[in-house]
Structure 1
Amino acid sequence: MAAEISKDYGDETVYMVCILKGSIFFTCDLAKRITSPVEMDFMSVSSYGSGTSSCGVVKIVKDLDVSLEGKNVLVVEDIIDSGRTLSYLLDILKKRNPKSLKLCTLLDKPDRRVVDVDVDYVGFEIPDEFVVGYGLDYDQHYRDLPYIGFVEIEE
């Protein structure tokens, strides 16, 4: 994935927007492998609360520190599920006049998609299962696992 991103951007700077908290491990590992110049910022957007599925209410918890105007922006997400959060976020970021705006995700769950989202770079497509590890959590637990695993939660 990093090779593809590097090829697409060439010598132009990639302004990576890491969506906290879940994508922090993936963003750091990806940034180390991109050969184009990289700048990084962090944004926290939430639509989950403490459950296992998106509630549809999106809120920005932490916004970016600098303007996106004229930048090649690459939004890096851990997982795309319903698409609600990313659709909302991309609409906001487009209004900030970036030179380009692309989306990268480690995991994609297309079976759960409610809102269409164009994803430029996908690590893995996964089935409709709840996953944790490598930054992904269940109620703020299991982010530190060095692998990604499926979770069965008894309700």
Structure 2
Amino acid sequence: MEPRDIDGDLTEILISEEQIRARLAEMSRQIEVDYAGTDLLLVGVLKGAVMVMADLARELHHPVTMDWMAVSSYGSGTQSSGVVRILKDLDTDLSGRNVLIVEDIIDSGLTLSWLLANLKTRGPASIEICALLRKPDAARVDIDVKYVGFNIPNQFVVGYGLDYDEKYRNLRSVGILAPHVYSTVAAAAL
């Protein structure tokens, strides 16, 4: 889906499809260097990281295995609640594995902090984080993120896997969602 397909739903495009692909290629080259000669398990966080994980894995010139985990702290709102629920756990044993968590976005960091602590208890050899987007101004906890695609402003963004109420994930770029889209939905729910 292109921005023109949702005319009026975005206030601006922050990151184009071309910029995303170029940055994922750069990050992939660094991951290949850092994990040369090792087995690497990519752990994608559903649903938002689907696009990032797929494109990152295809860009890597390094054998990887992949698994998925689904956690939730949003519901249908626009801000993280901080209360985390596991919706789908990993199928892979992490013991002795080099794990790279692949995320679409880090905003408050609360969900990722919880997830990182949970996965560390499973005995991986190493565990690092790769995120396409990070909102430094929204951070409520300090998380060491080894690979960051883009730092973005503290705005509600959609596209490239990111959604609002399960919509806009298939937008090829990342854009700021116009407030009237989620204000109208919130007002209708009252």
State the TM-score, normalizing by the size of structure 1: 0.98
**2:154 is the alignment partner of 1:128:** yes
Name which structure has the greater RCO, CA cutoff 8 Å, separation 6+.
Answer: 2
- Residue in structure 1 matched with residue 65 of structure 2 by the alignment: 39
Superposed displacement of residue 152, structure 1: 2.1
State the TM-score, normalizing by the size of structure 2: 0.80
Residue of 125, 139, 145 corresponding to 2:171: 145
- Residue in structure 1 matched with residue 137 of structure 2 by the alignment: 111
Superposed displacement of residue 36, structure 1: 2.1
RMSD, aligned CA: 0.7
Moved over 4 A (4+): none
Name the amino acid aligned to 2:151: E
Normalized per residue, the structure richer in helix is 2
In 1: Cα distance, 2:50 partner to 2:157 partner? 16
In 2: Cα distance, 1:99 partner to 1:37 partner? 17
Residue of 105, 108, 111 corresponding to 1:85: 111
Bigger radius of gyration among the two: 2
Unmatched runs of 5 consecutive residues or more in structure 2: 1-26, 184-190
Percent same amino acid at aligned positions? 55
Superposed displacement of residue 113, structure 1: 0.3
In 1: Cα distance, 2:119 partner to 2:82 partner? 19
- Residue in structure 2 matched with residue 62 of structure 1 by the alignment: 88
Question: Aligned residue pairs: how many?
Answer: 155
